[in-house]
Amino acid sequence: MDFALSDEQDLIRSTARQFADEVIRPAADENARKSHFDTDLVRKIADQGYLGAIVPREYGGAGLDYITYGLIVEEIGRADSAMRTVISVQTSLVCSSILKWGNDAQKQKYLPLLCSGEWLGCFGLTEPDTGSDAANQRTRATKVDGGWRINGAKMWISLGNHANLALIFAQTDPEKKHRGIGCFLVETEGQDGFQPQEIHGKMGLHGSDTAQIGLDDVFCPDENVMGEIGEGFKIAMSALDSGRYSVAAGCVGICQGCVDASVKYSTERKQFDRPIASFQLVQAMLAEMKVKTDAARMLVFRAGWLKDTGQPNTTETSIAKYFATEAAVWCANEAIQVHGGSGYADDFPVERYFRDVRVTTLYEGTSQIQKLIIGRALTGINALVPS
Ligand code: COS
């Protein structure tokens, strides 16, 4: 077993680290304070080639493997989860779906626009009444001349207010349950019925764009149906195989950020005439953070390696997502404890980590859903199907 990164991976990681520290991090607190979705920063991220990192070069991507993509996402996640979310949604949920399920024309048309950042995309699966039970789509698509009319609503959609292209999942035939769902590539410009609204009052990710979207007779032409009608649920699940990996990698970044901030603070801060890092109870907190960070990173590497070698990886991705997100929530909480009262204000990054991290055990599948996926893989029993 070889744990070493290649020279290229090492270089890409150092470049991402420098970019995260010099460009992303300095803007993060102010954007969070002002609840500002920083499109200039998104442009800079695009210019780095991070949107569509795993998309082949022929479609305008960087043609990187999943391990390298994970390294980039970790570094950006360490600097700012709001900007990491942009990469995860655009690259993993939108681009990877089009790459896997789109036809030639759809790939040629949309991937270069998305990889360059000229367009943003969003992933419209969750609805006001449809979260974990993703197969139970209330949004309806009805066949009309030349295409489909879509009616319904989507909720918690990252990038929804800025998206030029929306992947909208909708039920075409409720009797077929998950096998009736279609995936529609909806161009938002000029669609009066596509009505996004910013969601206010979030606990964290204040620098991220999060929308609820009304869909009122939105038109999608036949050529923009992705895959076959009925394959929508599989498309969504395979997108989440990539999305959950990206969230996990971002959470390794939060864990690492918590370790770095806590080591720095505890070695500088003095109480009882000595640095608080010299107290055993503080070192115990640092040590546990470090162990969880390393373990989370290893699980992300394993999931990435399985993806890069073309092996099944849904369960291992869920394991990585579950562990890394819970570890990051734990580390952020513990990092505030190390910082004491100083950790309770936004002068130190740990306050933002704490607020931003909380959503990661919820979105792209709750920790409970990840456990059900892992439990089913172990037992062969689907705990969601009533016996
Ligand atoms: N890739 C491709 N296809 C997949 C898949 C995957 N990772 N996982 C499941 N499928 C397919 C199955 O093969 C099955 O296909 P058939 O119709 O041919 O039998 C179909 O999808 C149904 O799968 P499954 O039986 O696993 O569905 P369940 O309803 O039992 O469970 C869960 C689905 C709960 C795992 C799923 O609904 C889920 O992940 N929910 C959480 C949703 C979520 O993460 N939402 C957050 C979105 S934020 S972007």
The CATH number covering residue 299 comes to 1.20.140.10
pLDDT at residue 387 in the model = 60
Which tokens belong to 37?
Answer: 């979705």
Among 100, 154, 208, 234, which is best to mutate for testing ligand 1, by the most ligand atoms less than 8 A from CB? Answer: 234
What is the number of structural domains in the chain? 3
Query: Ligand 1 centroid to 374 CA: how many Å?
Result: 13
What's 57's domain CATH number?
1.10.540.10
Are 216 and 108 within one domain?
no
pLDDT at residue 386 in the model = 67
Residue 1 resides in a domain: no
Residue 386 resides in a domain: no
Are 220 and 179 within one domain?
yes
pLDDT at residue 37 in the model = 98
- Contacts by residues 216-219 (CB-CB < 8 Å, ≥ 24 positions apart): 216/151, 216/192, 217/149, 217/150, 217/151, 217/193, 218/149, 218/150, 218/151, 218/168, 218/186, 218/191, 218/193, 218/194, 219/144, 219/147, 219/148, 219/149, 219/150, 219/191, 219/193
Are 238 and 367 within one domain?
yes
- Domain region containing 241: 234-379
Are 30 and 96 within one domain?
yes
Are 198 and 240 within one domain?
no
Query: Ligand 1 centroid to 301 CA: how many Å?
Result: 23
Nearest Cα residue to atom 31 of ligand 1 = 384
Mean pLDDT of the 210-234 span? 98
Residue 273 resides in a domain: yes
**Nearest atom, ligand 1, residue 363 CA:** 48
Query: Ligand 1 centroid to 236 CA: how many Å?
Result: 8
Among 53, 81, 115, which residue terminates a domain?
115
Are 96 and 133 within one domain?
no
Among 53, 85, 115, which residue terminates a domain?
115
Nearest Cα residue to atom 11 of ligand 1 = 234
Judged against a pLDDT cut of 90, whether residue 2 lies above it is answered with no
Which residues contact ligand 1 via a Cβ below 6 A?
123, 125-126, 132, 134-135, 178-179, 233-234, 237-238, 240-241, 243, 314, 363-365, 369, 373, 382, 384
pLDDT at residue 113 in the model = 98
Query: Ligand 1 centroid to 235 CA: how many Å?
Result: 9
Are 108 and 205 within one domain?
no
Identify the residue whose tokens are 């989440």: 240
Judged against a pLDDT cut of 70, whether residue 368 lies above it is answered with yes
108-162 pLDDT, tens digit per residue, is 999 999 999 999 999 999 999 999 999 999 999 999 999 999 999 999 999 999 9
235-293 pLDDT, tens digit per residue, is 999 999 999 999 999 999 999 999 999 999 999 999 999 999 999 999 999 999 999 99
176-186 pLDDT, tens digit per residue, is 999 999 999 99
pLDDT at residue 43 in the model = 98
Share of the chain above pLDDT 70, in %: 99
Nearest Cα residue to atom 43 of ligand 1 = 365
Residue 385 resides in a domain: no
Q: Which residues, other chains included, contact 317 with Cβ-Cβ below 8 Å and sequence gap of 6+?
A: 241, 244, 245, 248, 303, 307
Alpha-carbon gap, residue 123 to 131, rounded angstroms: 13
Using alpha carbons, select from 223, 247, 321, 332 the residue that is nearest to residue 77: 247
Are 240 and 349 within one domain?
yes
37-49 pLDDT, tens digit per residue, is 999 999 999 999 9
What's 226's domain CATH number?
2.40.110.10
Among 187, 208, 230, which residue terminates a domain?
230
SS3 87: helix
**Nearest atom, ligand 1, residue 385 CA:** 30
Are 131 and 165 within one domain?
yes
Query: Ligand 1 centroid to 14 CA: how many Å?
Result: 36
6-48 pLDDT, tens digit per residue, is 999 999 999 999 999 999 999 999 999 999 999 999 999 999 9
Nearest Cα residue to atom 44 of ligand 1 = 365
Instruction: Please indicate whether residue 364 is annotated as part of the active site.
Output: yes
Q: What are the residues facing 218 on neighbouring strands? A: 150
Are 85 and 148 within one domain?
no
Nearest Cα residue to atom 14 of ligand 1 = 234
**Nearest atom, ligand 1, residue 238 CA:** 1
pLDDT at residue 292 in the model = 98
47-74 pLDDT, tens digit per residue, is 999 999 999 999 999 999 999 999 999 9
Are 221 and 247 within one domain?
no
Please tell me the pTM assigned to this model. 0.97
Query: Ligand 1 centroid to 317 CA: how many Å?
Result: 13
